[in-house]
Amino acid sequence: MEIATPPAVATVEPHSARRAMAPPSRFGDKAFEWLTLAMAMAVVVLVILLGWELWRGSSLAIKKFGFHFLTTSTWDPVADQFGALPFIYGTVVSSLIALLIAVPLSIATAAYLTELAPLWIRQPLVSLIEMLAAIPSVILGLWGIFVMIPWLRDYPFPLLKRLFGWTPFFTGPIYGTSMLAGGIIIAIMILPIITSVSREILRSVPNLQREAAYALGATRWEVTRIAVLSYAKKGLFGAVILGLGRALGETMAVTMVIGNTPQIAASLFKPGYTLASVIANEFTEATTDMYLQALFEIGLVLLGTTILANLLAQLLLQTMSTTSTTRAVQ
């Protein structure tokens, strides 16, 4: 936002008047601008700091294991052999479970909040969703350990086993702490963000869209589906990717319910391990240099994937907001 500086009329005034009307010293202005610029550049410094520190901390491991770090599954601190595959697998699978649960619920909720709900109920619901977003991860994890896991173990898991036990995904003994429990707790963590971003997206859909569909005799749901949801597809996809970014990096709650066992198993009842949880659990126990290096490298992998997800999400959200505003103007 550029603000016109006072025009330099003072220069044509007589000498005495010029002094009185002279623009105030520019030094304060310059100093303040540079100060705020330096602070704004902090974000650039932070990105470089993140990448550089993690790279520096893991350079030996990168040199030693190379690309195999990502494709082997031995995690043996005693033998100094490290492969991150089980953690990558655990992160991907638990995040996918989370998205599978969270995406339909969040987008339906966002549609409810902007299109379908009675007006009086909207603001209270939004406030409640904001409160859910404010619950710290560790507290959800605590609830997960003592409330959710025993409940899942006693009711939904046996039911799933009875119904889908013939697939490889729901076989084996049920302990409670499992990949599936991890996915469910991540879903709860990312519900609020996908919901509120989707809601913003749906709100930015121009009213002309809705009016046009109503004018053709569409019902409320048809308007939502044809005129709003399909119009906002790209932005909603951005919201989902943003949720994926959060899911990949979710740490405390998952660590507390996923079981923390580095294995690759088809059954979702088996415990798993994620990139973020292995850092949380083993960082202070890393006794050898290579162990610590490997954990730094896991941090680097985590940073890379979440930054990629966030970049993609922001790009999708940005194109959405620009197209919607330009079209609204037309």
Partner 1 sequence: MHLQRADNHTWRKAKSGLASTAAFVSALLVIAPLGLVFFHLVANGASSVNWDFFTKLPTPVGVVGGGMVNAIAGSLELLALAAAIGIPVGVLGGVYLAEYGSARVNSMLRFIADVLNGVPSITWGVVVYGLVVLRFKGFSAYAGGLALGLIMIPLIIRTTEEVILLVPNGYREAALALGVSRWKTIVHVVMKTASKGIITGILLALARVGGETAPLLFTAFGNRFWNHNLSEPIAALPLQIFTYAISPYDDWHRQAWAGALVLVTGIFCVNVVVRILTRGRTASVV
**Range 198-227, binding partner 1 (CB under 8 A):** 219-222, 224-225
Tell me phi and psi for residue 248, to 5 degrees: -60, -35
Q: Does 12 bind partner 1 (CB under 8 A)?
A: no
Q: Of the listed pieces 61-69, 154-162, 163-171, 274-282, which binds partner 1 according to CB under 8 A? A: 274-282
Nearer to partner 1, 250 or 269 (CB): 250
CB of 168 to partner 1, least distance (A): 28
Subset of 128-157 contacting partner 1 (CB under 8 A) = 128-143, 145-147
User: How many other CB atoms sit within 10 Å of the CB of residue 120?
Assistant: 7
x/- mask, partner 1, residues 88-127, rule CB under 8 A, reads ----------------xxx-xx-xxx--xx-------xxx
- Whether 269 contacts 172, CB under 8 Å: yes
Of residues 94, 178, 196, 209, which one binds partner 1 by CB under 8 A?
Answer: 196
Nearer to partner 1, 23 or 165 (CB): 23
Of residues 13, 17, 33, 168, which one binds partner 1 by CB under 8 A?
Answer: 33
234: exposed, middle or buried (Cβ count in 10 Å: 0-12, 13-18, 19+): middle
Q: Does 324 bind partner 1 (CB under 8 A)?
A: no
| Residues 53, 50: Cα–Cα separation, whole Å | 6
| Beta pairing partners, 223 | none
Q: Does 37 bind partner 1 (CB under 8 A)?
A: yes
| Residues 253, 238: Cα–Cα separation, whole Å | 24
Query: If we measure between CA atoms, which residue out of 100, 122, 104, 102 comes closest to residue 113?
Result: 122
Q: Does 84 bind partner 1 (CB under 8 A)?
A: no
The structure tokens listed for 32 are 């303040």
| Beta pairing partners, 75 | 82
x/- mask, partner 1, residues 295-314, rule CB under 8 A, reads xx--x--xx--xx-xxx-xx
